[in-house]
Amino acid sequence: MAPGSRPPKQEAAQKQMAVRLDAIRSAAERVAASHGLDVVDIEFAGADRERILRVFLEKNAAERARLKTDRAQGAVGRTGQAGAGAPDGGFGGGSFGIDQLSGVTHEDCAAFSRDFSVLLDVEDLVPGAAYTLEASSPGLDRKLSKPEDFRRFIGCLVKVQTFEPIRNNRHWQGRLTAAEGNSLTLDLAAVRQNSKSRKTGVSQVEIGLGNIEKARLVPEI
């Protein structure tokens, strides 16, 4: 077996899990849509009886627009904690506009979990030992993956890790100032940079979306 290669059984198991996660996500998106929600991310971790399926949710664009209108009309309170019935679900205000907040509540998560659990059992999407289903807002350091995510959070601080180095650096942090076409731009002067970033000698960096391995918001409280 070549160095670094995986045993055939392990590789087959990983492929099977990838397909299963795709099916789980598809099912989660169907249930979420029926509740006015979007699936931000899905994680499946653990082994044996400690397996956990985590689904991160937010209000969909139409529901966020409704919350924004309600807020403008004074129908929604301005403070509150995630999952306590407050539309700020997970962000609690801070530097975010209401159209950027997840908006998800405990009630949303409970209703989603109830319906999604039934579908998971009916379609046998998580075979094997018992597991725990957790549904929540994406949190302050939410993951960014789709082009619309980056456009939505222009003006926010983000942390990006690239597949291929840019100026010999794969880790960047700055304020997202643009997200057009197939790239985004970070203002590096917005935050203190690590020594490797400072050595690049640039005040902003443009990163192709296809070169982004991981990206997350950086909380500003």
Of 47, 49, 45, 50, the C-alpha closest to 21 is 45
pLDDT of residue 15: 52
pLDDT of residue 214: 97
Cα–Cα dist 172/109, whole Å: 33
CA dist list (Å): 104 to 14, 36, 67, 71, 192: 32, 10, 11, 15, 32
Written as tens digits, the pLDDT of the chain (221 aa) is 444 444 555 555 555 555 589 999 999 999 999 999 999 999 998 877 789 999 999 999 999 888 888 888 875 544 333 333 333 443 334 456 656 778 899 999 999 999 999 999 999 998 877 899 999 999 889 999 999 999 999 999 999 999 999 999 999 999 999 999 999 999 999 998 888 888 888 999 999 999 999 999 998 87
Domains and CATH numbers, the chain: 8-136 (no CATH), 147-217 (2.30.30.180)
**Any idea what DSSP says for residue 78?**
S
- For residue 79, which amino acid is it? T
Question: pTM for the whole thing?
Answer: 0.77
pLDDT of residue 94: 46
27, with CB counted inside 10 A (0-12, 13-18, 19+), is middle
**Any idea what DSSP says for residue 128?**
S
168 Cα distance to chain centroid: 27
For the record, the structure tokens of 189 come out as: 């002067």
For the record, the structure tokens of 205 come out as: 């960096």
